Amino acid sequence: MNKIIMGLIMSLIIGFHSFAEPVKADETPIQIASEAAVLMDSQSGAILYGKNEDAKMYPASLTKIATAIYAIEKGNLDEQVNISEYATKIDGTKVYLNQGEQVTLKKLILGMMVNSGNDAALAIAIHLDGSLESYSKHVNEFLKKEVGVKNTHFTNPHGLFNENHYTTAEDLGRILNYAMKNKEFREIFGTKKIDWQGESWSTTLLSHHRILKGEIPYEGVTGGKTGFVDESKQTLATTADNGKVKLSAILLKSESKRKIYDDTIQLFDFGFANFKTSIIKKGEEFKTANKKFRANQAVFVTEPIVQAERKVSPEGMLTIKGKNGKAIQKLQLDEVANKRSEVKKTSRKPEQNGILPMNPVIGGGVFLMAAGFWVLNRKQKKGRRYRSR
């Protein structure tokens, strides 16, 4: 019975599953020195600022954001990873792993994210997929299927330069936003320092992100990752939260560290000053003309702090608009069918009980004729009584 009732309820709803469609927000007076940049609402995915956000770029160590969330979702953080000789011989920044050393997967992810250890990244990839080639195949499938990247192809887990290892600022923002939904990732991404006990050395690893560790003060920063190779220049990923909106900033190919942090602060200042995150509740209804629409699930939307406008098209597309009527975000709603009371039809013949069913007009005429005969009959009888006297 419950299944039947639920089926009837669902039959009143017409349309497809609700989805959020990010739209680039208003043009701003921001002056960003980095070659590519994007500022996004971490929860809704709305793009609040973009500069060459869909241009093909080399991400350097921001690649490790993808490696981290892939490892967290695919692996067991408590399992021991056996370090291969191949991983120990990689170039660049390391946590100085030894061949044959046993390290937990979580510790390797921390070493990769906090100290940007390339040896830790490579050890993770080999542990998860057996080889670098297999890792590349599987991580790209993961990013397309689970995250929805559009123009990303990774050949390695660490970000050392390869012409076929590329992404975009927008895709990196998508990857970061996806990762930030995971509690383990959020904790690791926000880690400023860790005590590292290894076979080669014992030390305290410090984050390379200058805002995250407090060298450049900025209130509300919740996580960060740096990157650099000659071909990529400086790259930076940062998240922040002021209690009204959670923001993700990606900056690519900056000529200097100072400029890339200045760019990040400009983006956060702009985002916090102008936007907030709201929730459209499951079942919330919107009307336009003679139609009614509703959201079939709770969804985050980004709205301007002032001059916010929600407008629904006749097709059920809800557009969140800001200053000058420019779109910030779009959401497809489901149409709710009109409830109309209908007379139930039956194939059963009516019971006659010896009386033939009549058309109302004919029935009325028969009644009047019968009444006339009755009156006439009464007059005739009365006349006979008078004559008999």
Residue 357 predicted with pLDDT over 80: no
- Whether 61 is a known active-site residue: answer yes
Q: Which residue has the higher pLDDT, 375 or 191?
A: 191
pLDDT of residue 378: 52
Catalytic residue among 18, 34, 64, 225: 64
Q: How far is CA 39 from CA 224, 263, 270, in A?
A: 14, 11, 9
Question: 151: helix, coil or strand?
Answer: coil
One of 61, 207, 232, 248 is an active-site residue; which one?
61
Mean pLDDT computed over every residue of the chain? 85
Instruction: Report the share of the chain in percent with pLDDT over 90.
Output: 70
- Mean pLDDT calculated for residue range 359-380: 47
Q: Please give the pLDDT value at position 301.
A: 93
Contact between 103 and 82 (Cβ < 8 Å):
no
User: Is residue 323 very low, low, confident or very high in pLDDT (cuts 50, 70, 90)?
Assistant: confident
> Where does the pLDDT of residue 352 fall: very low under 50, low under 70, confident under 90, or very high at 90 and above?
very low
State the catalytic residue, choosing from 34, 42, 44, 116: 116
| pLDDT (tens digit per residue) in 332-348 | 999 887 665 333 444 44
The larger pLDDT score, comparing residue 106 to residue 17, is at: 106
The domains found in the chain, sorted by start residue, are 32-274 (3.40.710.10)
pLDDT band, very low/low/confident/very high, at 102 (cuts 50, 70, 90): very high
Measured between alpha carbons, how far is 381 from 1 in angstroms, rounded to an integer? 68
**The pLDDT of residue 25:** 63
Confidence at residue 354, expressed as pLDDT on a 0 to 100 scale: 38
- The pTM of this model reads 0.81
- Given pLDDT bands bounded at 50, 70 and 90, which one contains residue 366? very low
- Those residues whose C-beta lies under 8 Å from the C-beta of residue 120, and which sit 6 or more positions away, are 87, 94, 95, 97, 103, 108, 109, 111, 112
Cα 6 from chain centroid (whole Å): 27
Q: Do the Cβ atoms of 331 and 343 come closer than 8 Å? A: no
What pLDDT is stored for residue 307 in this prediction? 82
Of the listed ranges 122-126, 311-315, 376-380, the one predicted with least confidence: 376-380
Number of neighbours of residue 152 by Cβ within 10 angstroms: 23
Decide: helix, strand or coil at residue 70. helix
Is residue 116 part of the annotated active site? The answer reads yes
pLDDT, residue 322, reads 81
18 classed as catalytic? no
pLDDT digits (tens, 9 = 90+) for 230-285: 999 999 999 999 999 999 999 999 999 999 999 999 999 999 999 999 999 999 99
Query: CB neighbours (10 Å) of residue 228?
Result: 19
pLDDT of 340: 53
